[in-house]
Structure 1
Amino acid sequence: MSKRSCRSCPAASVLQWKPGSEEWRYHVVNPVELQDSAAILEESPICVIFANANRIRECALCRQSFIKLFRMPEVWWSDHCRNSNGYIGSEVTRDQSSVTGFNTWAYYEMKHLDKKMDYRWDKINMFIRWVASPRRTIAIFFDTHPPIEDSIRQVLLGPDLPWLNDPFWIYARLAGEIARLQGSAVWAIRDHVRGIETETIPAGRPQPNYRRLHDIARHAIHVSESLDVTSKTMEGIIAQHQDFLSQRFSTEKIDLDSSENIGRQLLSWRHMISSLRHRSASNKDRLQNEIQLSFNIAAQHDTAISVDIGRAAQADSSAMKTIAFFTMAFLPATFLSSVFSTSFFSYSVDSGAWNVSDKFWIYWAFAIPTTFVAFVAWFFWHRIFPIAQVN
């Protein structure tokens, strides 16, 4: 056993499969001790490892153990790959002039939304080491949720032996699982959209839950994004598979029929992902249609209320016009009666004549300035205390 040890990184699960076996052989190994357990990896044509990349990435000892044993590129451990939403890469490994193997790596993300509007991100982050001689596949999966880990075990168990001569056989096997997970994410969004479409419109003023509609739209955008990236990733896998088959070193022991079938399966699942992309785009369009409908119904109801208010205001305006008319009709007579009732005018019954006081100018001397002061006070009052505008 190695004298090195790492107590901070969780142990890695190592699964082995041998032809004729119907189950995996299971081991638990500390990541830094994988180099000393290389014999375990060489005992069978397929080894599957489940490890924690987030912890290993921070541990130089364990990270170097993976890089040295599996010929992993340094860039794979960078933050830029860590923060990516999907990728595909490959490289040929050589020892002096001979080919020792073929490495590929890919990353997928799937977002699942449940009925209670809770969500989770499922990820498949894998690095595949294919050893040229003897033909052996080592598949490493990082930070995989237990349900997906169980599915991977089932999907990769018991492949056809000729398939093992092609390093892309794992991608053909996993493509169905990825399509299933993406389909589940798309249909979860569709169920929420369908629930909105079938809701009955309540009586009275509509009360759309725009916050919920916005959240569903946000999740739908994420699902479409992950589907777009998955489709591009699968196109990259197909292109790299074709490039691999064109290499001279790979045609010596490869079963071309099996490799062609692998290529056909990859094409088939790529088409399935493309179909899911259209379904996801339809979900977004339907959701936007419902958001617009909810807004229009609420606006229509508010418009009807505004019309009723306008009609009431029109009726009030008619009444005020009537009042103003009668006010204007009686105002001159009221003014004249007020003036002639003052002591500036007197009527003699005996002579039947009107007498006007020579002090009548006093009335105008006070009336005109007072009226002017009232108008000026009104003007400055509205300048200092303006009426608030209603938005």
Structure 2
Amino acid sequence: MAAVCQLLSWRTCDGVRNTCLAMWLRCGRNMVFLFCLLWITLIVLDADKWQTHDSKLSQEIETPRDSTTVIFASSDAITKRDHLRESELLKDFWTVIADDLNGSFCCNYITDEEEQIVRHISWSCFKTKHATKKNEQPVEPENIKYNWKQFAILVHWFPQTGQQIVVFLNLPEQQWKDIQIPSNSDRKSNPYVWHTAFADQAKEIYNHSVWSMRDLVRDVEKQRDEPNNPAPEFPKLHDIARHISHANENLEVALHTIDSVIQEQRTWRVEYAVDKKKPLWIQNQQRLRFIAKELHSQSTRCRSLSDRMKNEINLAFNLVSQKFGRNAQSDSAMMKTIALVSLIYLPATFVSGLFGMNFFNLSDDNGQQLWIMSDNFWLYWAITIPLTILTVIIWAIWHYSDRITSTARRIRHHDIV
């Protein structure tokens, strides 16, 4: 597939000149598509030949051509035009365009009075989250940027006429450059080849998403080996874990979406059996299974990243706990020292305080020193002992208040029973 950039110009009915930088895609035998928000230049299949048409995006959606038409569009370009909400092409697909979904798949069969399928409508939707560092600085919450990508495909197929209308929504530029457009014979027999081509590109987007998460986790792991290892920032670690959790969710939904496509293709074979094209169905089914296996591998890697991130969070928590433990041991040693000094000097302090009271007196009597103790010395003990006991009781009540309350509650409950 080759790509050519070209500067397009056109004039509207009021004479205003417009310019748009567009990307032409060449795939296979002269098959060209052009993406542009307002105007599109299509090369559509008409009478077994590819014909070029200049048209508005809204016109192609409201009045599709009797041929194979492929449109690359963005949800912003469509939602700005409210009148497209009721268009036959986008009416059921509007929730995928306007709403925030993490994945979706739908398939509708429209039949005529003879119960023949006249239209097959299907769409699939995927969503990814990409988280990267803004620069080469250490991983910090404010240094991580992330964005969501929601992309989808809508296929309208008319089996009786062979007409196909395919809308790729929000497909990143690199992916719509690389997409492998199904061959003419494949498109005529199996509408799900479009979903396979789309899922093949979605797989690459998911792969990029998972590896962007891996880079963040690896940067966190490398910080452990730095000489001046900074203190762990738990908000940062949990923020990365949140991104990985979203990626796990998206991959799980994507796997279910691919499985739904495989199941619906089997149903379509029953409703619209084409025996001579059986190898095509089998080949497309195997391709879908391969994509599912690739997504499963990415999902396994993403779960591994989640486990690695949990390990980093637990390690950081244990390191902080060990640091707090060492600080507590240091504080405990200091308190032991203070307690020992207090224990040594407490008896002397008590004795000096006791004999320094006015209950004792040392006087001279004829050159002799007399030791006199007051008859009211008992007042000291009468006040000190009850006050000490009261202090201990108050402390015990405060310290064991929860236990006392729970015991009283159990006794009261037992009496009621």
State the TM-score, normalized to the length of structure 2. Answer: 0.71
In the alignment, which residue of structure 2 is the partner of 1:230?
254
Offset at 1:305?
A: 1.5
**What pairs with 1:1-391 in structure 2 (closer than 5 Å)?**
11=38, 13=40, 15-18=42-45, 25=52, 27-31=54-58, 34-36=61-63, 38=64, 41-43=65-67, 46-53=68-75, 56=78, 61-65=83-87, 67=88, 70=89, 74=92, 76-78=93-95, 82-97=99-114, 98-116=116-134, 117-142=144-169, 144=170, 148-157=172-181, 159-164=182-187, 165-201=189-225, 207-247=231-271, 249-251=272-274, 255-328=277-350, 330=352, 334-335=355-356, 339-341=360-362, 347-349=365-367
Offset at 1:133?
A: 2.6
Structure 1 pair 58/35, CA: closer, same or farther in 2 (3 Å)?
Answer: closer
Offset at 1:156?
A: 3.9
Q: What are the superposed Cα offsets for residues 311-359 of structure 1, whole Å, 9 maximum, x if unpaired?
A: 1211221111111133345555x34897223xxx66234xx796989xx
Offset at 1:96?
A: 3.0
Amino acid across the alignment from 1:111: K
Q: Secondary structure at the match of 2:108?
A: strand
Offset at 1:250?
A: 3.8
User: 2 CA distance for matches of 1:26 and 1:321?
Assistant: 100
User: 2 CA distance for matches of 1:282 and 1:217?
Assistant: 12
User: 2 CA distance for matches of 1:337 and 1:242?
Assistant: 107
Q: What are the superposed Cα offsets for residues 138-158 of structure 1, whole Å, 9 maximum, x if unpaired?
A: 11123x15xx1452254144x
User: 2 CA distance for matches of 1:337 and 1:211?
Assistant: 64
Q: Secondary structure at the match of 1:311?
A: helix
Q: Which runs of 5+ in 1 are unaligned?
A: 1-9, 387-391
Please identify the structure whose Cα radius of gyration is greater. 1
Q: Secondary structure at the match of 1:42?
A: coil
Structure 1 pair 13/353, CA: closer, same or farther in 2 (3 Å)?
Answer: closer
Q: Normalized per residue, which structure has more helix?
A: 1
Structure 1 pair 347/227, CA: closer, same or farther in 2 (3 Å)?
Answer: same
- Contact 1:12–1:49 at 8 Å: present in 2 too? no
Q: Secondary structure at the match of 2:208?
A: helix
- Contact 1:112–1:120 at 8 Å: present in 2 too? yes
State the TM-score, normalized to the length of structure 1. Answer: 0.75
User: 2 CA distance for matches of 1:129 and 1:265?
Assistant: 22
Amino acid across the alignment from 2:166: A
Amino acid across the alignment from 1:256: K
Structure 1 pair 227/73, CA: closer, same or farther in 2 (3 Å)?
Answer: same
Offset at 1:256?
A: 1.6
Q: What are the superposed Cα offsets for residues 230-279 of structure 1, whole Å, 9 maximum, x if unpaired?
A: 000000000001111122x3427x62212211111001111111111111
Structure 1 pair 237/169, CA: closer, same or farther in 2 (3 Å)?
Answer: same
Give the RMSD, CA atoms, in angstroms.
3.8
Aligned residues: 344
Structure 1 pair 325/243, CA: closer, same or farther in 2 (3 Å)?
Answer: same
Q: What are the superposed Cα offsets for residues 208-232 of structure 1, whole Å, 9 maximum, x if unpaired?
A: 0222211111110111110000000
Q: What are the superposed Cα offsets for residues 48-77 of structure 1, whole Å, 9 maximum, x if unpaired?
A: 123454565575532223x2xx3x554x33
Amino acid across the alignment from 2:287: Q
- Contact 1:346–1:356 at 8 Å: present in 2 too? no
- Contact 1:163–1:259 at 8 Å: present in 2 too? no
Structure 1 pair 298/353, CA: closer, same or farther in 2 (3 Å)?
Answer: closer
- Contact 2:248–2:302 at 8 Å: present in 1 too? yes
- Contact 1:12–1:52 at 8 Å: present in 2 too? no
299-308 vs 129-138, which moves further: 129-138
Amino acid across the alignment from 2:38: A
Q: Normalized per residue, which structure has more strand?
A: 2
User: 2 CA distance for matches of 1:230 and 1:328?
Assistant: 79
Offset at 1:281?
A: 0.4
User: 1 CA distance for matches of 2:145 and 2:288?
Assistant: 32
- Contact 2:359–2:377 at 8 Å: present in 1 too? no
Offset at 1:168?
A: 0.5
- Contact 1:48–1:140 at 8 Å: present in 2 too? yes
User: 1 CA distance for matches of 2:335 and 2:266?
Assistant: 76
Amino acid across the alignment from 1:133: Q
User: 1 CA distance for matches of 2:356 and 2:66?
Assistant: 117
